[in-house]
Amino acid sequence: MNTTLSQTQTIIDGLGVDGVPIDDINIIVQLKRAWQYIINEDRPVSLRVMKNINSVVAKMDSLVPGELRNGSGFVATLRGDFVSPDVDEQAEEKYLQELLENKDKSATEKSIELMYYLMRN
């Protein structure tokens, strides 16, 4: 996806942009909607809230938006192929609760750690 800042702003404002594929426009619109959801959500962070965010962001790109991956993921790396294990929803819930309840980390540290954890997994 290649759009300029001004093209992205135009799309966010609800207008089309010549030369930008509809799939790219849809991605930008869904990211805008997810951001609006995050800003307006008043419940604390939870696995359910994160699934809701994913259901908005991945609406056009996922077979099951808003649900945890239920199959193996495959990534080719410099160290060889990596096949990710199946996701254990209870283990994910436990990880999130332990992170959020950790009194030794600031909200910023927790946010960054969670971001990296989710990106990696």
- Per residue in 52-87, pLDDT (tens digit) is 999 999 998 888 889 887 766 778 888 888 877 778
Q: Alpha carbon 58 to chain centroid distance?
A: 8
Q: Which pTM was predicted?
A: 0.78
Confidence at residue 118, expressed as pLDDT on a 0 to 100 scale: 87
- Enumerate residues 6+ apart whose C-beta is below 8 A from 72: 83, 84, 85, 86
Confidence at residue 72, expressed as pLDDT on a 0 to 100 scale: 67
Q: Alpha carbon 99 to chain centroid distance?
A: 18
Cα dihedral value 27, 29, 31, 35, nearest 10: 180
Half-sphere exposure of 1 (CA within 13 A, CB side): 11
Q: What is the pLDDT of residues 20-49, one digit of tens each?
A: 999 999 999 999 999 999 999 999 999 999
